[in-house]
Every structure is written in C-alpha cells, then in structure tokens.
Amino acid sequence: MSDEHSDLGFLRKYVFSTDHKTIGIQYGITALVFLFFGFSLMMMMRWQLAYPGSAIPIIGGLLPDTLVDRGAMLPDFYNQLGAMHGTIMVFMGIVPLAVGAFGNYVVPLQIGAPDMAFPRLNMMSYQAFVIGGIVMLASFFLPGGAASSGWTSYAPLAVTATTGQTFWLIGMIFLIASSLLGALNFIVTILHIRAEGLTFFRLPFFVWSQLVTAFLLLLAFPPLQAAAIFQLMDRLAGTSFFLPSGLVVGGEQIVAAGGGSPLLWQHLFWFLAHPEVYVLILPGMGIIAEVIANNTRKPLWGYRPMVYSLLVLGFLSFGVWAHHMYMTGMGTTMSTFFQITTMIISIPSVIILTCLVISLWGASIRFSVAMLFALAFLPMFGIGGLTGLPLGLAAPDAHLHDTYYVIGHFHYVVAPGTIFAMFAGIYYWYPKATGRTLNVTLGKVHFWLSFIFMNGVFMPMMFEGMAGVSRRLFDPTIYDHGAAVHGLTVMTSWSAWCLAAAQIPFIINFFWSMRKTERAEENPWQATTLEWATPTPPPHGNFTETPVVYRGPYEYSVPGADRDFSPQYVKQEA
Amino acid sequence: MNEPEYGWWLPPNVSVQGDDIDTMINVIHWFMLALFVGWGAFMVFCLVRFRERPGHVAVYKPIKAGFSKWLEVGVAVAEAVILAFFAMPVWAKIKNDFPTQDNPVVIRVVAEQFKWLFHYPGQDGKFGRTGVEFYADDNPAGLDFDDEDGFDDITVRGLHFPVGRPVIARLTAKDVIHSFKMPVMRITQDLIPGMEIPIWFEAKSTGKFQVGCAQLCGLGHYEMKADLIIESPEDYQRWLDEEHAALGLDDY
Amino acid sequence: MSESDVEHVRQHIKVYVTVFVALAVLTVVTVGISYLHLPTGFAITLAMVVATVKAGLVAGYFMHLISEEKVILWVLLLCAAFLFVLFILPLGTQIGNGPLWPL
Amino acid sequence: MSVVIPYQVEPHPVTGVTSGKLGIWLFLASEVMLFGALFSSYVLLRVGAAVENWPTGVEAGLNVPIGTANTLVLITSSITMVMAWASLKMDNLAAFRRYFGTTIALGLVFLVVKAFEYSDKFGHHIFPATGWPEAGDPSVFYGLYFTLTGLHALHVILGILVNLWLLFFGVALWKTDKERLTGRIEIAGLYWHFVDLVWIFLFPTLYLL
Ligand code: HEA
Ligand code: HEA
Ligand code: CUA
Ligand SMILES: [Cu+2]
C-alpha cells in the first residue's frame, strides 16, 4: 500500500494531492508564511507608532509614493496594514494552521482513519483557501491599496472605501467557502471513521476540540457570508443594506437608495466573529491538552468535565456576540442579557484551564520544548481571558472599549496563547511528519526569547489602554494621554522587533532538522494516542494494519503496567 | 485649571459617574490579580515539586481535588456578585437615569470625517431644524436658517460645558460611524449615521482636556480630536455670550 | 434490490404525489389569501404559517426527514437553535435601541 | 483511489447514514444559516423602515401570477426529482433518465422565467439600487428582491450543473455500483429540495407581503 503513491506525478503528489497529510502540510506551510507576512506588516506599523512621522528604515525607501511620504508611512497605508494584519492573522494564519494543518494532519491519525471522509473535498478546501489568500494579497497592488477599514470592515466606512475592500470581500467569500468544506469534512470524519473501540469518551481531547471547532465554523460562518454578499451588493450594485438615508460623505450627499442599517453589518459580523475567536483558541487548547498529558506522564485530570466544558463553550459562543457592541447605544435590556451570557461563558474556560493546571499535580514533568510552550500557554491565556472579564461588563467597557486594552486582551489569547499552542504542536508532531526531531537547544532559545518578548509586546498595551489610548491610531501622541505613555509604545515596538529576531532560531531549526541524518524513533515521546501507531512518516492510507482501540487516550503511569505508558492500540501490556 | 496628569493607569476622572466605573475597574483587577496569583503559585509549586528527576514517578490518580469545584463555583459567584451589584446598576444609571431637573445643558454632537461639531440651541433653548439639503461648507450642521428656532444656534468645533450641571448630548454622524470618547469622563459612545443617540454626563471639576474619536473612520481618524473645556458656570456663560456676540446677537 | 423494497417504494410514490398536490393547493391558497388584503400582521403570520407547513412537507416527505436517522435530526436541531438566536436577537437589539430612524 | 474509505456506500452502523448523506445534511445546515441570516436581515430592515415606505410585492410591480407559476414549476421539479430517485430504487434506469431530465428542464424553465422577470424590471428602470417609493423615504425592497432571488437563482444554477453532470457522466456508475449512484442521486435530490424549500419562503415574503 505504501508505495502505491510513488508513481503519482509530482503534481498529483504535492499540488493536487487528496492525502490528508499532504494537504495538512500544504496548509501548514502556507499558513506559517502568511503568519510571518502578517507579522511583517505589523513590524512596519510598530515603527510608525514608536517614531511617528520618521522614515521607515530600509523598507521605507522601497515603497511607492502612494504609501509613504519620503519613507514615512501615510495614514491610509497604516490603516491598510492594520486591516490586513488582522485579516491575515485570523483568517489566513491561525485558522488554516490550527484547523487546516493540525486538524488535517493529526485528526485522521488520532482516530485511526485511512484519510478524511471526503478527500477530494479536502483538496478543494485547500484550493479555495489559496485562491482567497491570493485575492487578499493581490489587493495590495490595487490603485487604492488594500482594504483599510479594519478587519471588522464596519459599514458605512467599508462601503465607501476603495476597491481593496471589494477584493477583501471576495477573498473572504473564498476563505469562508474553504472553511465550510473543511468543517463538514471534519465532522463526518470524526463521527464516522473512528477506529473500532474508539468511543466518544476515548477520543483524545484534541479531536474533541476539532469537532466543536468544526461545528462553530459550519454554523457561524454563513451569516458572515450573507453579510459579505450584502456588502458586495452595496459596493457594486448600488444597494444600501448598510447605508441609511441622507449620508453626506466629504460634503457630498451619497447617491444610494438609503433605508439600510449600519448596525446590521455589525450584528452579522460579530455573530460570526465571536464564535470565530473560539475557533482560534479551541484547537490550541486541544494541542495543549495532548502535550500536557504526554509530558506529565499521567492522565489529564478531569477529562470529562473538560469535554463537557468544550461543548458548553461551543454552544454558548453563539449567544454573546453583542458584547462587542455595548457602545453602539444598545438598550440596557440587551446589554444585561449579553453581560450575563458573557460572564457565563467564561466559566467553561476557567474549568478547562483549571483542569489543565491541576493535571500537573502528582506528575513527573518533562520539560521538553513542546511542554515549555504548553506551560507558558496556561498563564498567558489566563491573562488574556481574565482581561476579558472587565471588557465583558458594559460599565468598565465604557472606558476600555476600542483602546489598547482590548488589543492587549485578545493578543494575549491569540499570540502567546494560540501561537504558543501552535509552536507546541509543531515541536510535538514534527517527528511524526518528518521522522526527525527538532533541535532542543535551538528550541529552548526560541521559547525563552519568544516568551519574554511576547510579554514585552503585550503587557505595556494593557497600561496604554488603561490610560485611554485608542486603537487604530496612526499617531497616538497627538493626544495628551497618548503622549504620556509613549515610552510604553516604544518598548512595545522594540519588543516586537526582538520577537521577530527570536523566530530566527525556529526557522533555522525547522528547515535544518528536516535534513538531519539520524531518524527519530517511531514513538519518540512515548505517547499513547493512535497517531504514533503508524509508521513514520505515515504512508498513504496511514495504518499498516487496521488499528483497534482498547482504552482511553491518556493512560500514562497505569498502576501495575511495566511501562509508564499504555498505548490505546496495544491490547495487553506484555 | 491645573494641567491634568496622565500616567500608566486610569487617567484623571472628572465625571460624576466615573467614580463608579473606576471602582469597578479597580475591584475587578484586584479580583483578577488574586485569581492569577493563586493559580500561578499553584502552578509554579507543581512545576518544582513534580519535575522529572531520578526516582520520581507520576501518580496515575493523584487527587480527587473537590476543591477545584469550589474554586469554580467561587469564581462564578464572584462574577454574579459583580454583575448584580456593580455592573448592572451602574450601567443602568449611566444609560437610563437621564437628568430631568437641574436644568440640564442640551447639546447635539455631529461627527463627520474627521471633525467634531457641537451644536448648542442658543438662548431660546430650541434646536433649529436641520436637514441634509442644507449642508454646506459654511453650514456644517445643516441648519435651516429660515427656521425661527435656528437663528441663534451656535455651532462650534470645541466642546464647552459647565461643571456641576448635567449635560444631555444627542449624538449623530453624517457619514460613517465615529465614536465619541472622553477618557477623563469615562464616556465612549458610537455615533451612527441615521440614528440619534442620547447620552448624559456631568462633570465634577473643571479643566481642559480632549475629545477623541474611538472608531476607525478613515485616514484622518487619528487626528479627529477636539478640545474639551469644562468650566465654571460663569465662564461657561461668558463663553456662550461671546459666541452669541459673534453671531451678531449681542442684544441678549 | 429486493421485491419488498420495490413495494415499499411504490407506496412512497403515492405519498409523494399526495404531498405534491398539497403543495400545489397551498401555493394557490397563499396567493388567494394575499388578494384578501387582510391586516398586515395577520397576513404575515398566515403566509408564514402556510410557508412553514409547505416547507415541512418538502422536508418531511421529499427529503425523508420523517423517517430519517437521529444524527441528522440532532444536527438540524442544533442548527435550529442557532437560527432562533439569529432571528430573535437582532430584533431584540432593535427594540432595545428604540426606532432606527428617529431623525 | 487506492485508499478505501468506509461508509461511502453502506450506512454507518451507529449513525445509520452514509458519509455522503451526513455530509450533505451538514452542508444544508450551513445553508440554513446562510438563508436564515438573509431572512433575519430582511426582518430587521423591514421592522426598521416606516410602514408606508415598504411596498408589498404587488405594489412594487412584481408579477404574482408569474411568481405563482414559477413556484409550481419548482414544486413539480421537486416531485420529478424524488420520482427519479424512486425509479433507481426500483431498478428502472430509463424512467430515472426521464424524470431526472424533466427535473433539469424544469429548473431551466424556472431560470428562464426569472430572467424574463429581471429583464422586465430592468426595462422599467428598476435596479437593485432603486428605492421605494420614488418620492419620500426610500427602502431597500428592490435590493433585497434582487439579492435574495439572485442568490437563490445561483443555487438553482449550481444544482442544474451538478444534475447535468450526473445525467450525462455520473450515470456510468450504474453499470458498476448501483447503490452508489442511487446514493448520489439522493444527495443531489436533498440539495434540490432544499433549494425548492428556500423558494417556498422567498415567494410569499417578496411577492405577497
Ligand atoms: C482566541 C480569542 C479570544 C478568546 C478566547 C477570548 C475570550 C474572551 N473574550 Fe475576547 N476578544 C477577542 C478574542 C478572544 N477573546 C478579540 C479578537 C477581540 C477584539 C475584536 C476587535 O474588536 O477587533 C475580543 C474582544 C472582546 C470584547 C470586546 C471588547 C471591546 O471591543 O470593547 C469582550 C467584551 O466582552 C471580550 C470578552 C471576552 C471574554 C469574557 C472571554 C472569555 O471567554 C475568557 C474566559 C477565560 C478566563 C476567565 C481565563 C481563566 C483563567 C485561568 C483559569 C487562569 C489560569 C492560570 C494560570 C496558570 C495562572 N473580548
Ligand atoms: C490571530 C490573530 C493575531 C495574531 C497572532 C496577532 C499577532 C500580533 N499582533 Fe495583532 N491584531 C490582530 C490579530 C492578531 N495579531 C487583529 C484582529 C487586530 C485588529 C486589527 C484591526 O484593528 O482591525 C490586530 C491588531 C494589532 C495591533 C494594533 C494596531 C492598531 O490598533 O493600530 C498591534 C499593535 O502592536 C498588533 C501587534 C501584533 C504583534 C506584535 C503580534 C505578534 O504576536 C506576532 C507574532 C508572530 C509570530 C511570532 C510569527 C510566527 C511565524 C513564524 C516564525 C513563521 C515561521 C515560518 C516558517 C517556518 C515557514 N496587532
Ligand atoms: Cu471619527 Cu474615527
Ligand atoms: Cu467576543
């Protein structure tokens, strides 16, 4: 079985592959490149923020006059970078990496499946993602530049913006289509193609997280699809779904039918975007759970409550979206409802995090690189999640809304949170995919530097936000309270650049380790889950013999067993 | 008027409602800190105590840990308390308890790319009729000059209001969504074209501050600020008179 | 395919035809009602009730939901729950915000 | 494909359905959310508008008899669709071809009628951007009309394309794997009925209310 694919041509093997592992790797590489690109955009913005109005070193001279003025960034360019940073990081970076790459690569292996339920659909999902990505990137080369109305694309601003916004909408429609195809594939795969004996409560937590994520994508994305279609109509066909009557832009009355509602866009957008933030974090939590179980050499503490929390989290995430809209003037009935749901939804996160922390008790903790990232994830997500609480209450939000406090809040969850989880996953599963382990020393350098500078980037933002500095400001120093905390801004910028430098060991490690001669063992981490039952790297069709599952996912240090791990797929301990 | 001092935590608060908000922000942050330190300490302890070393093995089922349930219930209860006794009443007061007595100052705030416009009703206390068709460069508020309520209306680019007297502001935007933000008043409120949203606030001390725009509204978003001048009732009256005089209405 | 299977399908076909006739009749009924110029609220409710019945017939019989396996019903139930939220809350927020265009 | 993926033809023992059927239902669930969002927006916009600014379909010049006829066309195409599937179940390929061809033809009829309605509107200078009424405060009625029916028409087009492929190429499977073809037709049918179902709501909402 294993050599059947070797006679496929290069195109069939690497470009139009239907093998979930190849697709997973394609997704992974593409997403990492996008992630790096999104970060680069942000590094340019950080220059403007730290040294407003001065020429950007090196890059400034290379950019056209429409974007920079004698090397110094123009406000419109800043807005383009900000909007595209958000969009790229969320929709083209983390989602494809967490779901497309890790989900695709690991889920079928962990459930003992030969492939996804619909391999062809899987390939189409990746292609739609690439097309969407290309459309997004192409928009930078348009006359008016890329979308510049924030990743939230609030109407009416976005409706009256330049052509970049049209590309943004078309790109989004492709990215959404890609996610929908992927999501239904995941659900069917997980429900149908589990190995014999792999009951629901024997599923690794990672698979559970992907299942819930897939449901979120499947049911939350379509409303944004609808909204994107409406906005596209507004821009191209002259309708006015989001334009009220009597708009006057730049002194000119706008020619449109009118009668629309700007708030409608926000409702549809946040109806997606709140579930979306859980899409960003749940797969990360799944990875962290795998790594923690493996490196504590004991079962996860409270596996079942964690699973239930996951389900509750997924379900409730559809009922909190308007906490992003407290300041739009909604009445107290509605804000009360959303404050209550927002407080309720924080409880399942607390339960999951608490279970993970308590899992450390009684363990024998191996500080592998993956584990370091996983351990760092816990307090980092803690900071991010806890800062969500004041935002979830309307009264404090009246001061904090749309300040750097919000930026700090969610970056703590997605950057040292999800990105660390992604790193943990890469260090953990790299040996599975390549047959080589990543270098530990380089890994530790990467971890410690990233850990320090991540905090250096995002902790100051909390204080800036507290001081009242608004986000999306091309030059915050024109406000008195912004000028007062300028020192923090400079510190953030330098940390961001150092953070970029800290990725160099990782990139070197990533490519160099692939060429190492010595191969890793089949099961280098002595793990219990099914993905380690395949040959490394797994052949087309994955398993050489049909796996059968005999026990739960994390049977480490079982009393009486002669090894400290009892794999799911081994019948009896010898 | 002293220079306001800005630092790394909350900016000075000059509003009456702001104290409640500040208390809440501080209480919640102490609560968060306590939780974080608690979890953090437990975690660090585990990392040291249960690190891998020769002779140390993991335990399959180390603890029942019923206490974690209590912890979670505790967090839930604390959140419920904050919600019921702080968040909801404070917010309801800010949103709903519009001042009816105390002779509130009523103004309109009109936002456009990238300028603020403050519209005072003038001596008669009545806003003149406004309409889209009247907008012009020298008439940014779209005032109908034929309307008899409108002839004494004042439209200015800086916000003035007196200390110790409630202000009711009616917010609207001409083009895109903006957000009316006064950090020192702990006020943020979006201005949405096609809607007129009323808010109220009251200052408890004077000073010269800034109004900012907190919602991305285009390339000039960052420079969309205005002066915020909170003055004594006398100074405010003097300013009003001056503005009236500028309209040629000095007979008041 | 076995004989009994074919017999089974034959019986189904009768049902399909009945459903088809019902759908056609209901279509005519909605149109008919609309010519009566009932009060708006009542007219909307009535039209939506009829539409829901028709949709129920299509889903139930043509799409075999009546005899469908439980998983699918669960999926649809989940979907219905979120759909409910999608419908109620923007409206509720509307009410909370007061009328949209008071200018 | 060398890798054999289970439950493509035989139903899964626990869920009782094939992967394809579960997949299409999940897809339809997401479609429900898509159209749900569109309808929800409709309600929001209509509630926000002043009553006198929102025309009924008749007032707006939509042709109710034609709309009714088109509804009947779609409903008929739905029954021919189930009949096509039932014919396969009864091992009658010729009948399947007839019914399935009719379904496609009816779909095309629906589109042609729709095209006439559109061109009639354009002829009267009514476009998506047109407000209602000409004087007074405008509403987004026509925007919704064109967007919603347009999106629905896109779904019809997609269905027709898939069905055409099945009719001319997909049937080849009949020789090798009857069950599998029957399963595919059932899936195509589920999609087609869903498109019909959407129209059942669209028609009264836009034309009658
Ligand atoms: C992955 C992403 C993610 C996650 C998980 C969350 C989680 C939460 N978010 Fe966040 N949020 C965003 C991403 C995310 N958010 C983004 C992107 C925005 C801005 C969008 C924009 O405007 O552009 C945003 C904005 C945002 C707002 C709007 C702010 C505003 O614009 O004014 C609000 C308000 O309620 C909010 C609340 C919350 C809450 C209550 C949670 C809760 O779910 C959190 C619950 C978690 C906890 C309570 C932590 C538990 C901690 C522990 C158990 C400690 C363990 C610790 C140790 C070991 C020390 N978020
Ligand atoms: C998933 C989401 C995500 C992530 C991960 C990040 C990551 C980062 N973000 Fe971003 N950000 C957003 C989502 C995200 N952001 C959103 C939604 C906004 C709001 C936009 C708006 O206003 O509309 C925003 C806004 C935003 C702002 C505010 C701008 C403003 O308001 O004006 C700032 C400011 O500093 C910022 C900074 C950063 C930094 C320094 C990182 C760093 O943490 C980046 C870290 C990245 C890496 C470490 C890259 C790792 C990759 C590699 C090393 C590649 C290796 C490659 C191979 C092996 C091939 N972000
Ligand atoms: Cu006005 Cu930002
Ligand atoms: Cu949210």
Tell me the ipTM for this assembly.
0.94
pLDDT of residue B70: 84
Helical (H) or strand (E) element with D18: none
pLDDT band at B250, cuts 50/70/90?
low
Question: What distance in Å separates the CA atoms of residue D87 and residue D80, rounded to the nearest whole number?
Answer: 10
Contact assignment for A222 to D30 by CB distance below 8 Å = yes
Worst-scoring range by mean pLDDT, A154-168, A260-274, D50-64? D50-64
For range D60-74, the mean pLDDT: 92
Residue C39 clears pLDDT 90, i.e. is over it: no
Please give the single-letter amino acid code of residue B224: M
pLDDT band at D6, cuts 50/70/90?
confident
Mutation for C interface: B130, B177, B189, B195, most C CBs within 10 A: B195
For range B30-36, the mean pLDDT: 94
State pLDDT tens for residues A185-211. 999 999 999 998 999 999 999 999 999
Contacts of D117 (CB under 8 A, 6+ apart): D62, D63, D66, D67
Answer whether residue A351 is part of any domain: yes
For range A411-436, the mean pLDDT: 95
pLDDT of residue B144: 78
Question: What distance in Å separates the CA atoms of residue A251 and residue B175, rounded to the nearest whole number?
Answer: 9
Least CB-CB distance to A467: which of B8, B21, B50? B8
Question: What distance in Å separates the CA atoms of residue B200 and residue C96, rounded to the nearest whole number?
Answer: 18
Give contacts of A229 with chain D, Cβ < 8 Å: 147, 151
| Main-chain phi, psi angles of B116, to 5 degrees | -105, 150
pLDDT of residue B5: 76
State pLDDT tens for residues A144-175. 889 999 999 998 899 989 899 999 999 999 99
Buried b / exposed e along A342-354 (16+ C-beta atoms within 10 A): bbbbbbbbbbbbb
Please state, for a pLDDT cut of 70, what percent of chain A lies above it.
98
Answer whether residue A546 is part of any domain: no
Question: What distance in Å separates the CA atoms of residue A301 and residue A356, rounded to the nearest whole number?
Answer: 7
Residue A306 clears pLDDT 90, i.e. is over it: yes
Average pLDDT, chain A: 91
| Cβ atoms < 10 Å from Cβ of D26 | 27
Considering A444-448, B69-73, B112-116, the range whose residues carry the highest mean pLDDT is A444-448
pLDDT of residue A94: 96
Question: What distance in Å separates the CA atoms of residue A524 and residue A532, rounded to the nearest whole number?
Answer: 9
Worst-scoring range by mean pLDDT, A104-108, A361-365, A476-480, B121-125? B121-125
Answer whether residue A549 is part of any domain: no
Residue A43 maps to which CATH number?
1.20.210.10
Domain B105-246 listed as CATH 2.60.40.420: yes
Bond from prior residue into B12 cis (ω within 30 degrees of 0)? no
Contact assignment for D2 to A187 by CB distance below 8 Å = no
Query: CB burial class (10 A; 0-12, 13-18, 19+) of residue B153?
Result: buried
Q: Look at chain A and report how many structural domains it folds into.
A: 1
pLDDT band at C99, cuts 50/70/90?
very low
Answer whether residue A550 is part of any domain: no
Parallel, antiparallel or unpaired: strands B226-231 and B159-162: parallel
Task: For ligand 1, say whether the CB of B39 is within 6 Å of any of its atoms.
Answer: yes
Task: For ligand 2, say whether the CB of A457 is within 6 Å of any of its atoms.
Answer: yes
Q: How far is CA D190 from CA A387, A462, C15, D108, D116, in A?
A: 46, 52, 17, 18, 28
For range A346-357, the mean pLDDT: 94
For chain B, the domains span 18-96, 105-246
Task: For ligand 2, say whether the CB of A78 is within 6 Å of any of its atoms.
Answer: no
Average pLDDT, chain C: 82
**What residues of chain C have any CB closer than 8 angstroms to a CB in chain A?**
71, 78-79, 81-82, 85-86, 89-90, 92-93, 95-98, 100-101, 103
Nearest-CA residue of chain A relative to D4?
A114
Answer whether residue A185 is part of any domain: yes
Residue D127 contacts A where some CB pair is shorter than 8 Å: yes
Contact assignment for A230 to D147 by CB distance below 8 Å = yes
Residue A290 clears pLDDT 50, i.e. is over it: yes
Considering A60-69, A369-378, D6-15, D51-60, the range whose residues carry the highest mean pLDDT is A369-378
Residue A524 clears pLDDT 70, i.e. is over it: yes
Q: What is the CA radius of gyration of chain C?
A: 20
Q: Which of the two residues, A339 and A247, has the higher pLDDT score?
A: A339
Question: What distance in Å separates the CA atoms of residue A294 and residue C42, rounded to the nearest whole number?
Answer: 63
Contacts of D175 (CB under 8 A, 6+ apart): none
Residue D27 contacts C where some CB pair is shorter than 8 Å: no
pLDDT of residue C97: 52
Worst-scoring range by mean pLDDT, A245-254, A329-338, D182-191? A245-254
State pLDDT tens for residues B200-236. 999 999 999 999 999 999 999 999 999 999 999 999 9
Query: CB burial class (10 A; 0-12, 13-18, 19+) of residue C91?
Result: middle
Answer whether residue D3 is part of any domain: no
Average pLDDT, chain D: 90
Answer whether residue D53 is part of any domain: yes
**How many Cα neighbours within 13 Å face the side chain of A272?**
27
> Inter-axis angle of helices D178-203 and D141-168, to 10 degrees?
160
Contact assignment for C101 to B172 by CB distance below 8 Å = no
Least CB-CB distance to C54: which of D16, D200, D208? D200
Answer whether residue D12 is part of any domain: no
pLDDT of residue C93: 65
Residue B66 clears pLDDT 80, i.e. is over it: no
pLDDT band at A573, cuts 50/70/90?
low
pLDDT of residue B123: 79
Answer whether residue A571 is part of any domain: no
Considering A337-346, C10-19, C28-37, the range whose residues carry the highest mean pLDDT is A337-346
Q: Look at chain D and report how many structural domains it folds into.
A: 1
Mutation for C interface: A200, A225, A311, A318, most C CBs within 10 A: A318
**Residue A34: both structure tokens together:** 């996008």
Residue D85 maps to which CATH number?
1.20.120.80
Closest C-alpha to A302, from A349, A346, A351: A351
pLDDT band at B98, cuts 50/70/90?
confident
Range of the domain at A280: 3-244+261-533
Give contacts of C96 with chain A, Cβ < 8 Å: 330-335
Residue A251 clears pLDDT 80, i.e. is over it: no
Helix (H, G, I), strand (E, B) or coil at B147: coil
Residue D1 clears pLDDT 70, i.e. is over it: no
State pLDDT tens for residues A4-55. 445 567 677 777 888 999 999 999 999 999 999 999 999 999 999 999 989 9
Residue B189 contacts A where some CB pair is shorter than 8 Å: yes
Residue C103 clears pLDDT 60, i.e. is over it: no
pLDDT of residue A516: 83
pLDDT of residue A4: 44
pLDDT band at C2, cuts 50/70/90?
low
Answer whether residue D5 is part of any domain: no
Parallel, antiparallel or unpaired: strands B178-182 and B207-213: antiparallel
State pLDDT tens for residues D179-189. 899 999 999 99
Task: For ligand 2, say whether the CB of A90 is within 6 Å of any of its atoms.
Answer: yes
Residue A225 contacts D where some CB pair is shorter than 8 Å: yes
pLDDT of residue C98: 44
State pLDDT tens for residues C49-91. 999 999 999 999 999 888 888 889 999 999 999 999 888 877 7
